[in-house]
């Protein structure tokens, strides 16, 4: 590519502003859409954690089993989430890890208050004391957590994220060393993490602060799970020593896992011993952190990438066709050039220079489209995001991608016109293009139109199908009434309420809300519908043998107030609903949905039947008082 080629190409583009503008807008949309999706792919799927030497990090476990589990997970024996006890066991069994940290699988929203200021709902994550040293992260101010902070008798401390320090504590340097209240318990802020560090995973709401695992019982009291050896709630991630054979380590850790499981009655009882041999762990690179969001969004992003590529191909075909049409008008020039000695390679180079230049201008405009596009997609995909660690601004990698996409695009849509031009007849310079014996351009033009139409059809069909699917998802029947229903979240523990004061608080909330004008019904629940959270247990029917490890005994549950089902418009189809007489001292009754009734009591009336959880001896714990219409 010579300077003269570029100069000439620029003049050509300037000479036809209409064509140039059309092409640049088309390319900007095509390249912009691809760059926007790549911005997300890079930010979510390809990015490494901003930590020291991320390639040395490995995670034990490869999928998302958030957030608290007990017993065997899944049918394939793939263990991904671990109790504290099991984490320590694996840590001791794997000296190949220079350091092995444990991080909470799920995160909490805790009430945080400084002094007399209003409390804030901030995201927290329990991490082992070696979390920061494992990731190679030092403090921005103060110090980060250390092993000594994660000891049972250690003083309760926390480290703030830089973002939380900036936005929630007005970047007050005096916060380091100050005491803040977390869930009504005093914690000392010992430091601030560096800017840009968002933790161990890409998520739409990264932690605002980190607390040592040892403080979990301090915060959660009787419901703490740190020392429940059978409650799995931690993801281990560590830094392996150079030269470690990961496959051998995986084999040895799997053996250590099986050995530990075989000591736990929860895993050995009721035929559990038979499935222990297939339990194993998978060790995966952890440079990108815990890949929950990646696994969640990966398929969608890949689909978007394919769709945007199709859009770009259509744009290419469109512009190639325009160039071919223009090429007819430029045949005389090309013929003269060839008559003067330009070889086919030179002609191809000239046309490709022009198309690459055009696509680079389109790519530049596309960066603006990409920035706007990725911001919009992020806003749509993560409407509740706070401090989302995915930046829509073009990074070096994104700029590189846009440049590469522009080059490839330019070559792609320049090939056909260049090929046609290179086969111009030099003799036309003498006899004139109008006396040419044949016109070669119509066939590729027709082929491009067919190609464009085919791709458009594919895209259109995909768009229609996707719109229909989205429409169905949006209008699906969840089994609840949503019109004029509003959800409020209360956190009594965060406000310092002890468990004995909670029933009175709930009664008062219900009474006072019910008394508000316009409020017709008030219900309370541990988790509101469609929130995505719930608890699950293995159901043991009274009079049946204990379910084995492979049995599908799982069911989810929610704790609700008397009028909850009324409030969300869910009818009782058999038996009765809860009444004011169903108190703490009354016999324990439950309401089950129709799916539960069919699953556990097929061809029977479930009302009056009993079941329990944990062990067979508790199978009579709950009596089914009624069956309600299934809700999602």
Q: Give 312's DSSP letter.
A: H
Backbone angles phi, psi at 280, to 5 degrees: -160, 170
Q: End-to-end alpha-carbon separation of the chain, Å?
A: 62
Long-range residue pairs from 594-600, CB within 8 A, at least 24 positions apart, any chain = 594/627, 594/628, 594/629, 594/630, 595/630, 596/555, 596/627, 597/624, 597/627, 599/555, 600/539, 600/541, 600/555
Q: Kindly state whether residue 332 participates in binding another protein, applying the rule CB under 8 A.
A: yes
Q: Kindly state whether residue 442 participates in binding another protein, applying the rule CB under 8 A.
A: no
Nearer to another protein, 73 or 346 (CB): 346
What x-and-dash track marks residues 371-410 binding another protein by CB under 8 A? ----------------------------------------
- Binds another protein (CB under 8 A): choice among 247, 340, 380, 516: 340
Q: Kindly state whether residue 432 participates in binding another protein, applying the rule CB under 8 A.
A: yes
Q: Kindly state whether residue 525 participates in binding another protein, applying the rule CB under 8 A.
A: no
Q: Hunting for tokens 């003799």 — which residue is that?
A: 427
Where does this chain touch another protein (CB under 8 A) — which range of 72-80, 368-376, 429-437, 452-460? Answer: 429-437
Q: Kindly state whether residue 346 participates in binding another protein, applying the rule CB under 8 A.
A: yes
Where does this chain touch another protein (CB under 8 A) — which range of 94-102, 151-159, 192-200, 421-429? Answer: 421-429
Nearer to another protein, 302 or 423 (CB): 423
CB of 349 vs another protein, minimal distance in Å: 11
- Binds another protein (CB under 8 A): choice among 24, 182, 225, 342: 342
- Binds another protein (CB under 8 A): choice among 336, 364, 399, 613: 336
Q: Kindly state whether residue 583 participates in binding another protein, applying the rule CB under 8 A.
A: no
Nearer to another protein, 438 or 489 (CB): 438
Backbone angles phi, psi at 474, to 5 degrees: -70, -35
Per the rule left: phi > 0, alpha: psi between -120 and 50, beta: everything else, 532 is left
Q: Kindly state whether residue 333 participates in binding another protein, applying the rule CB under 8 A.
A: yes
Q: Kindly state whether residue 341 participates in binding another protein, applying the rule CB under 8 A.
A: yes
Nearer to another protein, 60 or 424 (CB): 424
Least Cα distance to 139 among 161, 172, 164, 163 occurs for 161
Where does this chain touch another protein (CB under 8 A) — which range of 87-95, 425-433, 443-451, 581-589? Answer: 425-433
- Binds another protein (CB under 8 A): choice among 151, 171, 404, 430: 430
Length of the chain in residues, anyone? 632
- Coil, strand, or helix at residue 380? helix
- Binds another protein (CB under 8 A): choice among 339, 385, 458, 590: 339
Least Cα distance to 331 among 394, 221, 421 occurs for 421
Task: Count the Cβ atoms, other than its own, within 10 Å of residue 631.
Answer: 18
Task: Give the interface size with another protein as a residue count (CB under 8 A).
Answer: 26
Bridge partner list, 189: 158
Where does this chain touch another protein (CB under 8 A) — which range of 156-164, 419-427, 475-483, 585-593? Answer: 419-427
Where does this chain touch another protein (CB under 8 A) — which range of 233-241, 342-350, 511-519, 539-547? Answer: 342-350
* 54 in Cβ contact with 197 (< 8 Å): no
Q: What is the spatial distance between Cα 330 and Cα 318, in angstroms, rounded to a whole number? A: 18
Q: What is the spatial distance between Cα 550 and Cα 9, in angstroms, rounded to a whole number? A: 69
Q: What is the spatial distance between Cα 471 and Cα 473, in angstroms, rounded to a whole number? A: 5
Where does this chain touch another protein (CB under 8 A) — which range of 189-197, 216-224, 328-336, 467-475? Answer: 328-336
Nearer to another protein, 95 or 432 (CB): 432
β-strand pairing of 283-285 with 120-127: unpaired
- Binds another protein (CB under 8 A): choice among 145, 429, 538, 568: 429
Per-residue CA distances from 216 to 125, 480, 499 (Å): 10, 36, 17
**Those residues with Cβ within 8 angstroms of residue 527's Cβ, 6 or more apart along the chain or in another chain:** 533, 534, 558
Q: Kindly state whether residue 12 participates in binding another protein, applying the rule CB under 8 A.
A: yes
56 CA to centre of own chain: 23
* 546 in Cβ contact with 560 (< 8 Å): no
54 CA to centre of own chain: 20
Q: Kindly state whether residue 357 participates in binding another protein, applying the rule CB under 8 A.
A: no
Nearer to another protein, 15 or 472 (CB): 15
- Interacting residues with another protein (CB under 8 A): 2, 4, 8, 11-12, 15, 332-333, 336-344, 346, 425-427, 429-432, 437
């Amino acid at each position: 590519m010579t300077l003269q080629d570029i100069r000439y190409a620029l003049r050509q583009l300037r000479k036809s502003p209409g064509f140039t503008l059309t092409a640049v807008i088309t390319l900007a949309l095509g390249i912009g859409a691809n760059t926007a999706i790549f911005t997300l792919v890079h930010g979510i799927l390809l990015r490494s954690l901003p930590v020291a030497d991320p390639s040395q990090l490995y995670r034990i476990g490869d999928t998302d089993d958030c957030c608290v589990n007990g017993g065997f997970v899944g049918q394939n024996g793939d263990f991904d989430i671990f109790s504290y006890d099991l984490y320590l066991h694996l840590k001791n069994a794997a000296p190949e890890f220079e350091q092995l940290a444990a991080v909470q699988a799920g995160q909490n929203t805790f009430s945080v208050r400084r002094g007399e200021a209003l409390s804030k709902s901030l995201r927290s994550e329990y991490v082992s004391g070696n979390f920061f040293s494992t990731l190679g992260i030092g403090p921005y101010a103060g110090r980060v957590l250390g092993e000594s902070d994660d000891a049972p008798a250690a003083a309760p401390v926390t480290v703030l994220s830089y973002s939380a320090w900036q936005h929630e504590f007005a970047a007050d340097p005096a916060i380091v060393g100050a005491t803040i209240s977390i869930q009504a318990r005093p914690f000392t802020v010992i430091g601030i993490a560096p800017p840009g560090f968002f933790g161990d995973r890409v998520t739409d709401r990264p932690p605002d602060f980190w607390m040592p695992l040892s403080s979990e019982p301090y915060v959660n009291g009787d419901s703490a799970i740190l020392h429940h050896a059978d409650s799995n709630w931690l993801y281990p991630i560590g830094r392996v020593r150079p030269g470690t054979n990961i496959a051998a380590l995986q084999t040895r850790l799997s053996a250590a896992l099986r050995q530990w499981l075989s000591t736990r009655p929860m895993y050995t009882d009721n035929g559990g011993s038979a499935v222990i041999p297939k339990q194993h762990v998978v060790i995966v690179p952890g440079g990108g952190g815990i890949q929950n969001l990646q696994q969640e969004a990966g398929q969608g992003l890949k689909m978007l990438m394919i769709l945007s590529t199709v859009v770009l191909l259509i744009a290419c075909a469109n512009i190639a066709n325009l160039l071919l049409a223009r090429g007819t008008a430029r045949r005389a020039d090309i013929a003269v050039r060839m008559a003067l000695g330009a070889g086919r390679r030179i002609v191809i180079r000239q046309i490709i220079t022009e198309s690459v230049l055009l696509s680079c201008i389109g790519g530049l405009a596309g960066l603006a489209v990409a920035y706007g596009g990725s911001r919009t997609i992020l806003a749509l995909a993560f409407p509740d995001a706070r401090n989302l660690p995915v930046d829509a601004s073009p990074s070096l990698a994104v700029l590189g991608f846009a440049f590469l996409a522009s080059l490839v695009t330019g070559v792609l849509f320049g090939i056909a016109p260049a090929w046609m031009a290179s086969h111009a007849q030099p003799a036309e310079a003498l006899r004139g293009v109008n006396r040419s014996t044949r016109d070669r351009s119509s066939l590729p033009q027709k082929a491009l139109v067919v190609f464009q139409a085919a791709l458009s059809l594919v895209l259109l069909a995909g768009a229609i199908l996707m719109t229909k699917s989205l429409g169905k998802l949006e209008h699906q029947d969840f089994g609840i009434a949503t019109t004029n229903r509003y959800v409020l979240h209360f956190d009594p523990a965060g406000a310092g309420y002890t468990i004995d004061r909670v029933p009175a608080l709930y009664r008062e909330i219900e009474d006072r809300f019910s008394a508000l004008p316009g409020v017709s019904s008030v219900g309370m629940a541990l988790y509101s519908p469609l929130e995505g959270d719930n608890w699950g247990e293995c159901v043991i029917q009274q009079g049946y043998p204990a379910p084995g490890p492979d049995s599908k005994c799982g069911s989810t549950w929610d704790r609700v107030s008397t009028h909850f089902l009324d409030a969300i418009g869910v009818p009782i189809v058999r038996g009765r609903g809860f009444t004011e007489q169903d108190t703490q001292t009354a016999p324990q009754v439950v309401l089950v949905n129709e799916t539960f009734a069919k699953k556990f009591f097929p061809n029977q009336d479930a009302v009056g039947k009993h079941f329990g959880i944990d062990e067979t001896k508790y199978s009579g714990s709950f009596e089914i008082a009624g069956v309600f219409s299934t809700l999602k």
